[in-house]
Amino acid sequence: MAAEDVLDQLRKARIVPVVRTADVELAELAVAWLAEAGFRTFEITLTIPGAVDFIRRLVDGTPYLVGAGTVMSVEDASRCLDAGARFIVSPAVVSELPPYAGAAGAATMLGAMTPTEVRAARLAGADAVKIFPASSAGGPAHIKALRAVFPDVPLVPTGGIGIADIGDYIAAGAALVGVGGKLIDEASLRDGEREKFLLVARHALASV
């Protein structure tokens, strides 16, 4: 599978859960419940202790499309790609990542907020540009403004996006959205509130 095929799958998913939990046990539970709700694409952030091994277990044991988030170096990317990650996400313009990941057939999203950063991300070879943090950057209006000058760049707003906001971001021109804490509530995971968690997850899927 080439990077463009991965990007096509991400576009079809429309929502990528950004799994960032305090420990890997909560991450495992989050993915299990999200999958039960209907999600099949996951970004596992490297801030989770044991994230790379978790990525490997997901890749080896499930049919899901799994990527790595908060990737800040080629060394990080190498470990994630070796584990089977199909897409690499960074919150910054780390210019070394796209050619490295692309050679392995993985897609890359580099982080940006301003037009200058979006341009830099694309010049570096990013398949898509993660607009982060989306909520504090101006929300859907910011995405619409960026789309006006970068109509051919797949924009992926992430950061502070509420479930009720997902449709507005898509309508503003986002190729897909990354949703973290508003979708993956750690308190619900810790307290075993499965039905509450599933309700939120299914509501998110229904919004697109």
Catalytically active residues are 43, 130
* H helices present in 38-133, as ranges: 51-61, 74-82, 97-103, 115-123
Dihedral angle over CA of 70, 206, 181, 159, nearest 10: 50
Distance, in Å, from the CA atom of 130 to the CA atom of 93, rounded to the nearest integer, reads: 10
Structural tokens at position 45: 């952030």
The two most distant CA atoms of the chain are separated, in Å, by: 45
Cα of first residue to Cα of last residue in the chain, in angstroms, is 26
Inter-residue contact 74 to 86 (CB < 8 Å): no
Distance, in Å, from the CA atom of 138 to the CA atom of 168, rounded to the nearest integer, reads: 12
